[in-house]
Structure 1
Amino acid sequence: MTNNDLLFKIHTIFDYTTEEMLEIFSLANQKVTAEQLNAWILKSEEETSEPLDDKSLETFLNGYIVFKRGPSEKGLPALSVKLNNNIILTKLKIALNLKAEDLIAHFQIAGLELSKHEISAFFRKPANKHYKKCTAQTLACFMKGVTLKNSTK
């Protein structure tokens, strides 16, 4: 799953308007134009599509947390040195206010059976011996679960 795919999925799953998407970016102090946003959410094979870099995606996710949960006393989190699927999953978990049981349900509805222990391994520090890398397939499965959960509401 590319950064562009993830941004597009969030845009469509929750039916956010362009203005709401721009507001999310602005909550994390990134000025984005409607033209940039539209280029990021197009399919990659479309001529005017532009790749969404890691910094912009992580900035969006930080803004998404503020959008969904309100500002934190600590301010915005620092951007990662290298964005990965574990960080993305963590930020989505925070923004959507999901507990372990919710994550299990999202994965289950998408056809992936994970235990509470397996899920908690995604949120550990990489140096921890129980850390587990979140693959692109796992993240895509989670997003499928979010899509299916939100389509049944």
Structure 2
Amino acid sequence: MACKRLLEYRFAIETTEGLMLSNDILRSVRYILKANNTDLARILALGNVDATLEQIAIWLRKEEEEGFQRCPDIVLSSFLNGLIYEKRGKDEAAPALTAERRINNNIVLKKLRIAFSLKTDDILAILTGQLFRVSMPEITAMMRAPDHKNFRECGDQFMRYFLRGLAAREHAAK
């Protein structure tokens, strides 16, 4: 019975692709930054997306709320690019970051790692602080190219613990 409930819960929190919703990630990053919708609009503008405050409010709604609308992957990718520019500055000599049309947890993890200047040791410490067991080789495998033989897909559970741990780390630092 408990196993059946667990399976129902896991099915309910995953999308059809088995990835966290872009909306969930956007809400989590907003919480990590302690940002408001105006801040999100500014970061989106850095990523070359013009979004109204009303549209951002719709993307921040939960699935069960009235008027929920899924945040497009390209918007989340552009937001994360804008976050990189916000946190690290824009290097005019380097080519502009491109927004991916399809985004997955591995891409989100890589972009957050860049934006918050995290090393693999930092990611391991964040997850260990959340009592999530993971090894250093597992983390580096998630950072590899998808066609690499040692590539590992970043799962939803890993991403949730990482986002929760990153929030705890950022809030403790301020």
Q: What per-residue deviation string (whole Å, max 9, x for no partner) do you get for residues 57-86 of structure 1? A: 101011110011100232422223531110
Alignment correspondent of 1:140: 160
Would you say the 8 A contact 2:74–2:101 is kept in 1?
Answer: no
Would you say the 8 A contact 1:25–1:59 is kept in 2?
Answer: yes
Q: Which of 128, 135, 138 does residue 115 from structure 1 map onto? A: 135
Q: Pairwise mapping of residues 1-150 of structure 1 onto structure 2 (< 5 A)? A: 1-72=20-91, 73-150=93-170
Q: Which runs of 5+ in 1 are unaligned?
A: none
Give 4+ residue runs of structure 1 displaced > 6 Å after superposition.
Answer: none
1:5 deviates by 0.8
SS at match of 2:77: helix
- TM-score normalised by the chain length of structure 2: 0.83
Would you say the 8 A contact 1:28–1:76 is kept in 2?
Answer: no
Structure number, greater radius of gyration: 2
Greater CA drift, 111-120 or 101-110: 111-120
User: C-alpha root-mean-square deviation of aligned residues, in Å?
Assistant: 1.3
1:150 deviates by 2.8
Q: Which amino acid aligns with 1:91?
A: K
Greater CA drift, 73-82 or 134-143: 73-82
Q: Following the alignment from structure 1 to structure 2, what is the Cα–Cα distance between the partners of residues 70 and 3?
A: 24
Q: Following the alignment from structure 2 to structure 1, what is the Cα–Cα distance between the partners of residues 170 and 33?
A: 8
- TM-score normalised by the chain length of structure 1: 0.93
How many residues end up aligned between the 2 structures?
153
Would you say the 8 A contact 1:109–1:148 is kept in 2?
Answer: no
1:115 deviates by 2.2
Greater CA drift, 19-28 or 74-83: 74-83
Q: What per-residue deviation string (whole Å, max 9, x for no partner) do you get for residues 97-127 of structure 1? A: 1011110011111121222221111111111
Would you say the 8 A contact 1:30–1:59 is kept in 2?
Answer: yes
Identity among equivalent pairs (%): 33
Q: Which runs of 5+ in 2 are unaligned?
A: 1-19
